[in-house]
Amino acid sequence: MTLFWILCAAMLLVAITFIAFPLWRKSANNNDVLRDAANLGILRDQSSELEIDLRNGLLTPEAYEQGKHELQARLVDEVKISEQPVKLPRNPAKLLAIALAALLPLCSVLLYLAIGNPDAVLPQVSIVADADGIIRSEEALQSLEKKLKRMPKNPDDWWTLARSYTELKRFAEAAKAYEQLVNLVPGEAQLWANYADVFAMANGQTLQGQEVVKLLDKALQLDPNNMTALALSGSASMERGDYAAAISSWQKLIAQVPPGSQDAQMFNSGIQRARELLLAQPGGKEKLAQLSAGKNAPETAAVNPAAAITGVVSLSPALAGKVSPTDIVFILARAAQGPKMPLAVLRKQVKDLPLKFTLDDSMAMQPQLKLSGFEQVVVVARVSKSGTPMAQPGDLEGLTAAVKPGAKGLKIVIDAVVQ
C-alpha cells in the first residue's frame, strides 16, 4: 500500500514538472519597454554612422551638426524616458503554474477515492473452503477475519465466516459474523433466522431472550413462511408456555413439507405435545377449540388434479462429487411472472435421485397461491447446502423453461452452481 502511494506521488511530481515548469519560465512581455530599447539602439547606430562619415570627409561639419540635431529630436519623440524605474507587470503564467501545482495532486487523490478501488492494492488472501463452503482451518479463519477488517463490506465473506463458525460450534463468533451480515443484507429473512439460532446457542442455548425474539420477529416480518424462523418461533413459544402460538407456528410448517415425511412427523409430534400441555392450562380447551376451528390455522388448499406437474429430477455426473447423499433436495414450482414464493414444494435427499416427482395444489405454501392459479410456472430442482428452500451461493440447481400447470414428463438435470 505504501509503495502504491509512493509511485502515485512520483507520477504526480513528473506531471507537475511537465505542466507547471514551462509556465513558470514564461515571462510577460512589456511591449513599450522593448520598443523603446530597439529605437534607442537604432538611433545610436545612426549617430555612429554620422561620426564615421564626418571623419571620412563624406559630411561637412554643418551637415554633421544638422544630422545630430535631427537624431536628438527623434530621440525625444520616439523613446519614452522616465525617471522612475520600469516595473514589469505581474506574470499570470506563474500564478497559473502555482495553482496547477497545488490543484493537480488534490484533484487526483479526490477523484481516485471517489471512483477508484483502494482495496484493490491490498494483498489478496487465499481462503480455502471445503465443498460445502465451510472453512475448518484455524489459520484460514484468521486470514478471513483479517481480510474482513480491511474490507468489511463483503457479504459473501461474512456469510462464509458465519457458516464456518456455526459448523464448528463457535456460536458467539458466528453471532458476531451474522450481526455484520444482516447489516449489509437486511432484507433476507433466512439470515435473520440463522442469526437468532446462533445467538440463542451462544447465550445459554435458550430462545427466551428478548434479543432472540426480536430477531425471529424480524425474519417472520420479511417472510412469514420462513421455515427456520417458524420452527424456532414455535420452540420459543413452547419454552415460554405459549402453546397456542407454538401450535400455530408448527401448523404453518406442516403446510410446507410433504405429508408423511420425517419433518411432517416431527412437527406433528410437537403439535401433539403442545396440545396436551395447552389442555392442562386454564382455558386451554377454549384456545384449542379456536385453533381447531381454523382461526389460527392455515386453510387447506383445494387440489386440482388437472394442474399437477410430473417429471424426473436427476443430478449431473459432473457435480456428483460436490454433494453428499444426505443433502436436502427441494423440488418446487414458482410463478414465471409474479411472486417468487414457491407455489408447491417437495423435499427429498440426494440419495433419492434420480427421482420421479409430482407437484400439485396440496403442496401450496399459502392457500391463495396455488399452482393452478397461474398460467405459467417454472419448476426448479435445487440441492440446498443450507437445508432451506432459499437459494444460497454454492447450492446446485436445475430448472425448466416456463411451462403450463398440468405439464407431464418434465426432465430436470441439476447441472449448475448457484453464484
| CATH number for the domain harbouring residue 163 | 1.25.40.10
Same domain for 151 and 274, yes or no, is yes
394's grid cell: 454454492
Q: Which helix (H) or strand (E) holds 69?
A: helix 61-78
Quote the CA–CA distance of 227 and 253 in Å, as a whole number.
6
124, part of any domain: no
123, part of any domain: no
Expressed in percent and rounded to 5, the helix, strand and coil fractions of the chain are 55, 10, 35
Write the single-letter amino acid at 167.
Answer: E
pLDDT at residue number 30: 46
Residue 80 — very low, low, confident or very high, per pLDDT cuts 50/70/90? low
Quote the CA–CA distance of 271 and 265 in Å, as a whole number.
10
Same domain for 277 and 153, yes or no, is yes
204, part of any domain: yes
Q: Pick the last residue of a domain from 292, 323, 338.
A: 292
Beta strand 377-384 with 410-414: parallel, antiparallel or unpaired?
unpaired
Same domain for 148 and 281, yes or no, is yes
Mean pLDDT value across the chain: 81
pLDDT at residue number 402: 93
265, part of any domain: yes
300's grid cell: 387447506
Same domain for 313 and 195, yes or no, is no
Same domain for 333 and 386, yes or no, is yes
Q: Which of 48-57, 143-152, 260-269, 293-302 has the lowest mean pLDDT?
A: 293-302
370 within 8 A of 309, measured Cβ to Cβ: no
Q: Pick the last residue of a domain from 229, 261, 292.
A: 292
352 within 8 A of 329, measured Cβ to Cβ: yes
Supply the range of the domain harboring residue 271: 138-292
Q: What are the two backbone dihedrals, phi and then psi, of residue 227, each rounded to the nearest 5 degrees?
A: -70, -40
Residue 83 — very low, low, confident or very high, per pLDDT cuts 50/70/90? very low
3-state secondary structure of 236: helix
Same domain for 260 and 360, yes or no, is no
Q: In 10 A of CB 113, how many CB atoms?
A: 10
Q: What residues have CB less than 8 Å from 298, skipping those under 6 apart?
A: 251, 252, 255, 366, 367
Same domain for 29 and 144, yes or no, is no
Q: Based on the structure, what is the number of domains in the chain?
A: 3
132, part of any domain: no
pLDDT at residue number 355: 92
Same domain for 161 and 190, yes or no, is yes
> Does residue 211 register a pLDDT over 80?
yes
State the DSSP code for 14.
Answer: H
347, part of any domain: yes
Quote the CA–CA distance of 35 and 363 in Å, as a whole number.
101
Quote the CA–CA distance of 327 and 132 in Å, as a whole number.
10
217, part of any domain: yes
The CA-atom distances, in angstroms, between 150 and each of 7, 160, 358 are: 22, 16, 49
